[in-house]
Every structure is written in C-alpha cells, then in structure tokens.
C-alpha cells in the first residue's frame, strides 16, 4: 500500500518550490518602506527654534474628524504644558501645541472613550518647536520624533546629552572633534544609538560620494571639502569630516558596541530577523574592520552546531550586511527562510488539544501512517534549484520518495554555497556600494589597501 502521507509531502515540496521561484521572498530593512525616517537628536536640536522638557497638564478638543470608522476617529487636541527645562530658544507665555491623535470608540469602565495612543496628560516629554516667522507662533517640528516621552532614566540621559550639544554649539571652536565624540557617546547608549549611528553613517556615505566624484571628475586634481560648522544645518548633518575625525579609540568603541549586539543576539538564540544587530552600525564598522569582522563571523559559522540554525542565520546576516554582495545576500535569505520554517514546524509539531464529548461512543481508528520526520517539510526544498530534479528521474519516471533531501542536508548545502562565495570575495575584493567587485577597501584614515587576505578553508 503506498505511503500517501509521503506522497503528499513530496507534492507540496514541488508546489512550494515553483511558488517561491515565481515569488521570491526577501525581507528588507525597514527603510525600504515609504515611511517617515525619524530625525536624529542632532537634527532635532539644530533644526528647531525651541527645545524644552515639559509636563502635559491638560488637553482640549480642537477638532474631530467627521464620521470615522466604527473603531475610532482622528481628533486634534490642544496640549497645555508646564515647562521644566529649556535647552534652546525663548518660549512665549502660556505655550501650548496642537497634535492630531487617534481616539478609540471603545468605552472604558466610566463609559468614556479611551485614547488609543498619543501625548498623555500627566506625562513628561522632550519637545522641539519651530517658530512661524509671520505669526510668531510656535508649532511642533514637522517630525513625529519631535515628541519624546520621558521616564526618569531617559530624562537624565537626554538632559545630559542636549546640554553637551548646546555647549558645543555655543563654543564655536573645535566643534568637529567634540561633536564626533558626542555622536560616539550617543551610539554607546541603547536609547540614543539610532541618533549617533545614523549621523555617523551619513558622514561615511558622503565620504564615499566624494571618492566617487574624484574618480569620475579627472579635470580637478582634488575635491574641496566644505568647512565644518554646526551653525549651518546641512553641513553639520551631512559632512564627511565627521567620519574622518573618528580616532582609533572611537573606532574601537563603535566596534565594541557592535560586538555587544552580536553576542546579545547569539545569547538569546533569536532568529536573524529578530536580532539586535543594527544595520547602519555594521555599515559604519565595516569601513575599518570588514575583513576581521567577517572572517571571524565566518569562522564562528564553521564552528557552530550545524543544527543551530538560529545562530548560523544571525552570523550570516552580519556578514551579508558588511559585504553588500547580491549572491551572498540571496544565499543568506534562502538559509533564513529555511531556518524560520524549521522553527515554525517545531512550534506546530505538537497536536492541539482536542475536547472529546464523553456522551458519544468512541470509535476505534486504524493506525495512521507514521509521521514523516521533521526534516521533510515543504519549506525545506523551496530554496534549492536541484529540488525539482529530485522529484523526477532523467528517464521521466518518478524518483524514489526517499531521495527528498532533509532540512539538515539543505542547510548544509546552503552554508557551503555561502562560505564558498564569501571566500571568493575575500580573495578577489569585496563589492563597493554599487554592488560591483573592487580590488580595494576604503579606509577613511589612510590610503586604500589591497584586499589581499588569505582564503579560509572549511572541513
């Protein structure tokens, strides 16, 4: 009697392979979505006319959206505040601001509508305002990040960092080294990591742009850099001099932050799409540590338990972020899909509890076919080109169902493909930002160095 369970699994494998070939799955970082990119703390301070900490004392309804959904509606609320600290500018008397918020139509115990989210009365916030030149009125800076709720720890941190920045701006001398140190300190705190990493990475992007301009414009002997000034918003935010001002100590500290993120992700045994590794921090650190960083991560992959797919997936992701190679990138996402599917299979392996009506007679059932092993899941074959061939012999006859590869075999094959591609790139030069392979790696504190590194071998 044929094993219909195995036949069903093999049919599902082939169907899923065809589907994933036509509709490849590749998750991208959040920046690919058309959403607002938050302002950094430096941007907020420089672009605002007024920066302060305040308590929300009361609120008033200004306007309510007509209609709305059954669940809720958007409303404009005026927030009245009590100022606690002023970091920049001079506020008017009785300062308040209007903010659009969403209210739920769900009733609370008192019969009133509950606010789903928004600026809460009784809470403390860090606020950034712009002044209208015509009316003289202050409105919130045009970014959702212009309103930051504070607890005691956050307030102490933001108060310290903003006072430091204010001092740097007012000094007007030696701003570049002081600002660079300030940005590195932001990166060392989890609460402000985004603010520091984002501005440092933007500086490196401008460095790379300048190098490309020098290579394409042969009529000029050199590219003149704009002078650094915190008084000019654009030059302060997107100036390549910040990247060049990083000292060896700064680099070591940034590398230490990345190492901490990697170890945290590995210790928590999270999936790569849930890891704490910051994409932009990898992009920063790779400017001086790409070879050692990626070689060490690859060595950790080779020394890992082949069944520890979560660990291997995180390490692959780190290498992929640091290298920017299309083939390496697609191989990583293939492995990640396998690893995630394996985890989901484990979560659903236990049958759900079934309630039995004891008033009805219980009928004996024949013994079911034995369960297929976990490694014969549909997701397993979805990412290898050779899987279609495994379902059909060269002479057109059906292949043995026993030839369907296991998940362990598939993972091992992808790891080998990943390793071989990585070793090739180490030997021949990592790709540049545009995705083309280059013979040199840019070092912001020295001349370009040849990418002559030994090729690792795997057993």
More confident residue, 38 or 26: 38
Query: Is 367 part of any domain?
Result: no
- From residue 155, alpha-carbon distances to 43, 84, 162 in Å are 19, 11, 10
Given a cut of 70, whether residue 227 has pLDDT beyond it is: no
Domain final residue, candidates 107, 140, 173: 140
pLDDT of residue 416: 96
Residue 46: exposed, middle, or buried by beta-carbon count in 10 A (0-12, 13-18, 19+)? buried
Same domain, 186 and 280: no
105-135 b/e (C-beta count within 10 Å ≥ 16 → b): eeeeeeeeeebeebbeeeebbbbbbbbeeee
Query: Is 74 part of any domain?
Result: yes
Q: Is the dihedral of CA 312, 318, 322, 325 positive or negative?
A: positive
Given a cut of 60, whether residue 453 has pLDDT beyond it is: no
pLDDT of residue 273: 86
- From residue 432, alpha-carbon distances to 242, 322, 324, 418 in Å are 21, 11, 7, 19
Same domain, 76 and 217: no
More confident residue, 14 or 205: 205
Same domain, 458 and 405: yes
Question: Structural domain tally of the chain?
Answer: 3
Pairing of strands 440-441, 449-450: antiparallel
For residue range 172-200, list pLDDT tens digits in order.
788 999 999 999 999 999 999 999 999 99
Q: State mean pLDDT over 255-280.
A: 93
pLDDT of residue 383: 42
Same domain, 412 and 269: yes
Given a cut of 90, whether residue 369 has pLDDT beyond it is: no
pLDDT of residue 141: 93
Same domain, 161 and 136: no
| Length of the chain in terms of residues written | 459
Average pLDDT, the chain: 76
Domain final residue, candidates 246, 272, 298: 246
Given a cut of 90, whether residue 250 has pLDDT beyond it is: yes
pLDDT of residue 188: 98
Domain final residue, candidates 78, 110, 140: 140
pLDDT-based confidence at residue 41 (cuts at 50, 70, 90): very high
Same domain, 319 and 398: yes
Please give the span between the terminal C-alpha atoms of the chain, in angstroms, as a whole number. Answer: 43
Query: Is 356 part of any domain?
Result: no
pLDDT of residue 83: 97
- CATH, residue 109: 2.40.50
Same domain, 259 and 273: yes
Given a cut of 90, whether residue 269 has pLDDT beyond it is: no
Given a cut of 80, whether residue 138 has pLDDT beyond it is: yes
Query: Is 173 part of any domain?
Result: yes
Query: Is 40 part of any domain?
Result: no
Same domain, 195 and 334: no
Query: Is 123 part of any domain?
Result: yes
- Cβ atoms < 10 Å from Cβ of 54: 22
Range of the domain at 114: 49-140
Pairing of strands 72-88, 50-64: antiparallel
The model's pTM:
0.72
For residue range 46-83, list pLDDT tens digits in order.
999 999 999 999 999 998 876 655 667 888 999 999 99
pLDDT of residue 156: 97
Same domain, 194 and 91: no
pLDDT of residue 107: 66
Same domain, 403 and 306: yes
Query: Is 390 part of any domain?
Result: yes
Alpha-carbon gap, residue 45 to 87, rounded angstroms:
9
More confident residue, 24 or 145: 145
Query: Is 43 part of any domain?
Result: no
Same domain, 398 and 280: yes
- From residue 282, alpha-carbon distances to 177, 258, 265, 330 in Å are 22, 7, 14, 18
For residue range 310-362, list pLDDT tens digits in order.
999 999 999 999 999 999 999 999 999 988 876 555 545 444 444 444 444 44
For residue range 376-422, list pLDDT tens digits in order.
344 444 444 444 444 445 455 555 555 778 888 999 999 999 999 99
Same domain, 167 and 92: no
């Amino acid at each position: 009697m044929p094993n219909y369970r195995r036949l069903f699994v093999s049919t599902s494998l082939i169907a899923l392979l065809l589907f994933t070939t036509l509709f490849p799955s590749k998750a991208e970082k959040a920046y690919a979505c058309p959403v607002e990119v938050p302002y950094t703390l430096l941007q907020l301070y420089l672009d605002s006319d007024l920066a302060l900490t305040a308590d929300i004392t009361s609120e008033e309804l200004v306007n309510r959206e007509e209609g709305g959904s059954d669940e809720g509606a958007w409303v404009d609320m005026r927030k009245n505040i009590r100022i606690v600290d002023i970091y920049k500018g001079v506020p008017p008397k009785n300062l308040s601001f209007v903010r659009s918020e969403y209210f739920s139509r769900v009733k609370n115990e008192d019969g009133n509508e509950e606010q789903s989210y928004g600026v809460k009365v009784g809470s403390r916030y860090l606020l950034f305002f712009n002044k209208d030149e015509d009316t003289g009125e202050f409105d919130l800076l045009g970014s959702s990040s212009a309103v930051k709720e504070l607890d005691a720890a956050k307030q102490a941190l933001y108060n310290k960092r903003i006072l430091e920045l204010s001092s740097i701006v007012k000094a007007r001398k030696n701003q570049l080294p002081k600002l660079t140190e300030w940005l590195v300190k932001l990166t060392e705190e989890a609460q402000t990591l985004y603010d520091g990493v984002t501005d440092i990475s933007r500086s490196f992007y401008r460095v790379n742009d300048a190098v490309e301009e020098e290579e394409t414009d042969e009529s000029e002997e050199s590219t003149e850099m704009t002078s650094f000034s915190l008084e000019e918003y654009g030059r302060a935010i997107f100036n390549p001099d910040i990247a060049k001002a990083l000292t060896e100590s700064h680099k070591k500290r940034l590398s230490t932050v990345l190492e901490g993120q990697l170890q945290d992700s590995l210790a928590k045994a999270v999936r790569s799409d849930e890891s704490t590794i910051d994409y932009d921090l990898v992009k920063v650190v790779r400017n001086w540590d790409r070879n050692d960083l990626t070689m060490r991560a690859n060595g950790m992959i080779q020394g890992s338990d082949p069944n520890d797919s979560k660990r291997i997936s995180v390490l692959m992701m780190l290498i992929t972020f640091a290298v920017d190679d299309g083939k390496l990138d697609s191989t990583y996402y293939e492995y990640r899909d396998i690893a995630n599917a394996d985890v989901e299979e484990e979560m659903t392996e236990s049958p759900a509890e079934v309630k039995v009506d004891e008033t009805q007679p219980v009928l004996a059932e024949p013994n079911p076919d034995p369960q297929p092993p976990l490694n014969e899941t549909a997701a397993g074959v979805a990412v290898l080109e050779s899987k279609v061939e495994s379902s059909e012999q060269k002479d057109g006859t059906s292949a043995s169902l026993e030839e369907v590869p296991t998940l362990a075999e598939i993972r091992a094959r992808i790891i080998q493909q990943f390793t071989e591609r990585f070793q090739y790139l180490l030997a021949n030069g990592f790709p540049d930002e545009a995705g083309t392979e280059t013979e040199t790696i840019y070092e912001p504190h020295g001349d370009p160095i040849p990418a002559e590194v030994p090729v690792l071998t795997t057993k």
